[in-house]
Chains A and B, each alone.
Chain A
Amino acid sequence: MTIFRRGFMRRLAIFAAVIGPGFITASVDNDAGGIFTYSLAGAQFGYSMLWTMGPIMVALIVIQEMAARMGAVTGKGLSDLIREEFGLRITFLMMLALVVTNFGNIVAEFAGVASSLELFGISRYIVVPVAAAVVWLMVVKGTYASVEKIFLLASSFYVTYIIAGLLAGPDWSAAAVATVSRPGIEGIRNYGYLFMVIGLVGTTIAPWMQFYLQASIVEKGVTVRQYRASRWDVILGCIFANVVAWFIIVACAATLYSAGHHEIKDAADAAQALRPLAGDYAYLLFAGGLFNASLFAASILPISTSYVVCEGLGLESGLDKRFDEAPAFYWLYTLLIVAGAGVLLIPGFPLVHVMVLSQVVNGIVLPFVLVFMLVLTNDRELMGKHTNSRFFNVVAWITVVAMIGLTVAMVLTQK
């Protein structure tokens, strides 16, 4: 990957030496959309949704491990490998789709920032422009040291959800039993229940994560020799992300579900609803956690999208280049932030449609990305002796087929 000397991704990768690319990817995955989905799962179905966490975690680890391994063995990003093995046209379509789905994600992040601060009575017409400016300035003008401190802080803030979960006073034994027990058959027959399962899987495993993780592994300069440590970073990152998700579900199950408050319309709404049930602290932690997660994801998504897309298409990229040297890169980056934040300020903008479109494109791209990843990780010429083992392939194919089935189901049920 021909990237980014002294650029932001490089700095991020150096920072990632502390926390690890696997950890950052998994953390960014628990973004505004993720938090909402987990909250909703807890509010509507209580503890009975907890069994999904185990299988989701396994699927996440299997898929992320492939991306990380590819990065370490080949030293190339996923978009580069797809370009080299499958040609320009497929890469172009995939990058186009990636821009669309990531745009939807970016809108969701800014919406998360806006709604979390609206809880404290601050208008979105102030919050959103300020947040967009902060993101833009932090990435373009920030020094490595300052950005690192901010992100370190942001990653550690996910603990707020664990604390909120503890404050909610759940029935621990019921939660533990629900986590390890088989789902009841009546649950499967329930259309809403199935839809929720699909949503949980969809929000946890997204195409952009594979591109982002592999690019960070490459940027960090992880080679085959150091890969053992990176594998642990990926596994621990996935576990941490799932533990956070588990606590969000538990917190909402113990409070909202028990109190019969099943309907919430976004993640901020969940925080609001928690207040009378779990107390002011839980409410503050939930709201603060949402703000933090949204802003964190909003800082990373636009820049990484611009890098991955420009790299895959062979366009100049990097913040160390001038605007006229890398116009496509700067236009894309600026557009993602300005438009992503801007649409929230247009009254009556069909936000829901953007989200649905993004989800659908996400669902269409994911099977391709996963199948490409499996083809690439089994390519002996590319991976040498680090191709998938037979056992791993079985697990990975089951995961991929299940993912494809669920995603197709999700796309078909989107209305």
Chain B
Amino acid sequence: MSLVALSELLGAPVRDAAGVAAGRVREIAVAPQDHPTRVAYLVVRTASGERALPADSLTACGATVRANTNLESWDRLAPSDGMLFLRRDLLDQQIIDVHGRKVVRVNDVEFDCSPVNSHLSLDVVSVDVGAKGAVRRLMKGVVPAFTLRALLDRIPPRFIPWKYVDLLETDPARRVKLKIAYEGLSKLHPADIADIVEDLPPAEREAVFETLDEEVAASTLEEIDPDIQVSIVESLDSNRAADIVEEMDPDAAADLLGDLPQESTGQILKQMDPAERQEVSQLLEFSEHTAAGRMTTDFVAVSEHGTVEDAIAAIRKFEGTREALATVYLVGRHHQLVGAVPLVQIAVSSPSTALSTLQEQYISCAPDTPEGEVAALFDKYNLITLAVVDEQERLAGVITADDVISMLRRKH
């Protein structure tokens, strides 16, 4: 097995079975639908136009490329958008480095070149994003080959294995043909995906958001800078946007919809599931900078006469964010707030214990409390969650500490 770089192959002279110089390598194509890494053919610029030299007739790959077939048998190049052209689609373009969790630019591509039966098989193994590839390309043809090799040996490599590379493609049809699904990306933590997405140009952001699973897209969107959130959601079609917004935490969804132009908000709301829509529309009516604007309406409330077992049953059914789970609220017959039990107490108590014996003093605030005061309450009472109650003392929503941290960070 030996390694060869894309920049070494591009421009290399090609000799056919008769040893005749047929032309030079102009491009290298991979067919992701047939094989994810194997090179399908080399595009050779010959005197009789551009031809596709099938990779399975290669016998040497390096400064000179040799084939065991004749020029006449190589097909003329036909346009195809199902092929990944490494020079055009990869070299100098941005990709997502899933392992390093960032967006990087490709300086070169490395192939593994190994003999199979009577020919060579060429597979993409990694992309070079470091100085090595850059220096090789800058110096090629400028300094003698052996000096260049000696120089390159002294540069520490920075390669990203091909399996950690997610390509960026803005055309949805082509994305399907090239089998780009952002599988690597979608396994990252939403906060990391958000960082990566913020670094991308708008069209590439949309491409990622069109492809990501709705749930992942929703948690990612929550972590993204509000301005960028708006531009992403506006670029998606309202159906897709509604699907993603439905999966978001209601308070985050309301914040986002509040920032959108009225028309888009209306369209997205119209396409949402009725229950979700009602929750979000209620939140939308509050100013973003008050307790009500910050609260989520997804929380765990149990009857004041319930037991630990009831609380656990409610927790199991709960579909909201984990942060809101930190406290189980006790409510009376008319949903008025009467007490709060920390999750820890529930975890350490026997199932039959009455919740009323575990309740602690709770702190609450009115829906129109300014967000600065909300933060002050969290600080003063060391809260993890804060209940928001209306004029009739009914529990309207819950503010969680993570929202307060985001709010405070945003101010600076």
With the chains together, A223 CA to B105 CA distance in Å?
A: 23
Contact yes or no, B201 A74, CB < 8 A = yes
CB-based nearest B residue for A87: B92
Contacts of B227 on A, CB cut-off 8 Å?
221
With the chains together, A225 CA to B234 CA distance in Å?
A: 10
In the complex, per-residue mask of B184-207: 1 if CB is within 8 Å of any chain A CB, else 0: 000000000001001111111000
Partner of B138, one of A1, A2, A92, A314: A92
Contact yes or no, B231 A223, CB < 8 A = yes
Contacts of B107 on A, CB cut-off 8 Å?
88, 314
In the complex, per-residue mask of A241-264: 1 if CB is within 8 Å of any chain B CB, else 0: 000000000000000000000000
Place the interface of chain B in its size category.
20 to 34
With the chains together, A313 CA to B92 CA distance in Å?
A: 9
With the chains together, A221 CA to B105 CA distance in Å?
A: 21
> How many CB-defined contacts (below 8 Å) exist between A and B?
50
Partner of A83, one of B92, B102, B228: B92
In the complex, per-residue mask of A307-321: 1 if CB is within 8 Å of any chain B CB, else 0: 000000110000000
In the assembled complex, B366 has its CB within 8 A of some CB on chain A: no
Contact yes or no, B104 A314, CB < 8 A = yes
Supposing A314-B105, A314-B107 touch, asked if A88 and B202 sit within 8 A by C-beta, the answer is: no
Contact yes or no, B199 A223, CB < 8 A = no
In the assembled complex, B137 has its CB within 8 A of some CB on chain A: yes
In the assembled complex, A218 has its CB within 8 A of some CB on chain B: yes
CB-based nearest A residue for B137: A88
Contacts of B231 on A, CB cut-off 8 Å?
221, 223
In the assembled complex, B93 has its CB within 8 A of some CB on chain A: yes
With the chains together, A415 CA to B129 CA distance in Å?
A: 43
Contacts of B203 on A, CB cut-off 8 Å?
74-75
In the complex, per-residue mask of B93-114: 1 if CB is within 8 Å of any chain A CB, else 0: 1100000001111010000000
Supposing A89-B138, A92-B138, A223-B231 touch, asked if A75 and B202 sit within 8 A by C-beta, the answer is: yes
CB-based nearest B residue for A75: B201
Determine the main DSSP class of A at the interface with B.
loop
In the assembled complex, B134 has its CB within 8 A of some CB on chain A: yes
Q: Which residues 85-135 of B have a CB within 8 angstroms of A?
A: 92-94, 102-105, 107, 129, 134
With the chains together, A87 CA to B227 CA distance in Å?
A: 32
With the chains together, A75 CA to B104 CA distance in Å?
A: 16
Contact yes or no, B201 A314, CB < 8 A = no
In the assembled complex, A171 has its CB within 8 A of some CB on chain B: no
Partner of A88, one of B92, B198, B204: B92
With the chains together, A225 CA to B103 CA distance in Å?
A: 25
CB-based nearest A residue for B201: A75
In the assembled complex, A231 has its CB within 8 A of some CB on chain B: no
In the complex, per-residue mask of A80-123: 1 if CB is within 8 Å of any chain B CB, else 0: 10011001110010000000000000000000000000000000
Contact yes or no, A2 B228, CB < 8 A = no
CB-based nearest A residue for B231: A223
With the chains together, A223 CA to B102 CA distance in Å?
A: 23
In the assembled complex, A228 has its CB within 8 A of some CB on chain B: no
In the complex, per-residue mask of A55-86: 1 if CB is within 8 Å of any chain B CB, else 0: 00000000000000000001110001001100
In the assembled complex, A5 has its CB within 8 A of some CB on chain B: yes
In the assembled complex, A351 has its CB within 8 A of some CB on chain B: no
With the chains together, A290 CA to B370 CA distance in Å?
A: 46
In the assembled complex, A3 has its CB within 8 A of some CB on chain B: yes
Most central of B94, B102, B199, B201 by chain A CB within 10 Å: B201
Contact yes or no, A83 B105, CB < 8 A = yes
Q: Which residues 234-281 of B have a CB within 8 angstroms of A?
A: 234
With the chains together, A76 CA to B103 CA distance in Å?
A: 13
Most central of A5, A83, A221 by chain B CB within 10 Å: A221
CB-based nearest B residue for A224: B202
Contact yes or no, A84 B93, CB < 8 A = yes
CB-based nearest B residue for A226: B231
Contacts of B412 on A, CB cut-off 8 Å?
143
Supposing A5-B199, A75-B203 touch, asked if A314 and B129 sit within 8 A by C-beta, the answer is: yes
Contacts of A80 on B, CB cut-off 8 Å?
94
Partner of B103, one of A2, A74, A83: A2
Contact yes or no, A1 B137, CB < 8 A = no
Distance between A376 CB and nearest chain B CB, rounded to angstroms: 14
Contacts of A218 on B, CB cut-off 8 Å?
201
Distance between B157 CB and nearest chain A CB, rounded to angstroms: 15
Q: Which residues 1-27 of A have a CB within 8 angstroms of B?
A: 1-3, 5
With the chains together, A409 CA to B105 CA distance in Å?
A: 38
Contact yes or no, A76 B138, CB < 8 A = no
Distance between B396 CB and nearest chain A CB, rounded to angstroms: 34
CB-based nearest B residue for A77: B201
Contact yes or no, A1 B195, CB < 8 A = no
With the chains together, A223 CA to B92 CA distance in Å?
A: 24
Contacts of B94 on A, CB cut-off 8 Å?
2, 80
In the complex, per-residue mask of A131-144: 1 if CB is within 8 Å of any chain B CB, else 0: 00000000000010
Most central of B92, B103, B203 by chain A CB within 10 Å: B92
Q: Which residues 126-166 of B have a CB within 8 angstroms of A?
A: 129, 134, 137-138
Contacts of A2 on B, CB cut-off 8 Å?
94, 102-105, 199-200
CB-based nearest B residue for A88: B137
Most central of A2, A3, A92, A143 by chain B CB within 10 Å: A2
Instruction: Please report A residues at the B interface, Cβ cutoff 8 Å.
Output: 1-3, 5, 74-76, 80, 83-84, 87-89, 92, 143, 218, 221, 223, 225, 313-314
Give 12 A-B pairs besides A75-B202, A223-B202 with Cβ atoms closer than 8 angstroms. A1-B201, A2-B103, A3-B199, A5-B199, A83-B105, A84-B92, A88-B92, A88-B107, A88-B134, A88-B138, A221-B231, A225-B234
The contact sample of 13 A-B pairs, CB cut-off 8 A, is: A2-B199, A3-B199, A5-B198, A74-B201, A75-B202, A75-B203, A84-B92, A84-B93, A88-B137, A89-B138, A143-B412, A221-B227, A313-B134
For the complex of A and B, list the 4 residue pairs with the smallest distance between their C-beta atoms, beginning with the closest. A75-B201, A314-B105, A75-B202, A2-B103
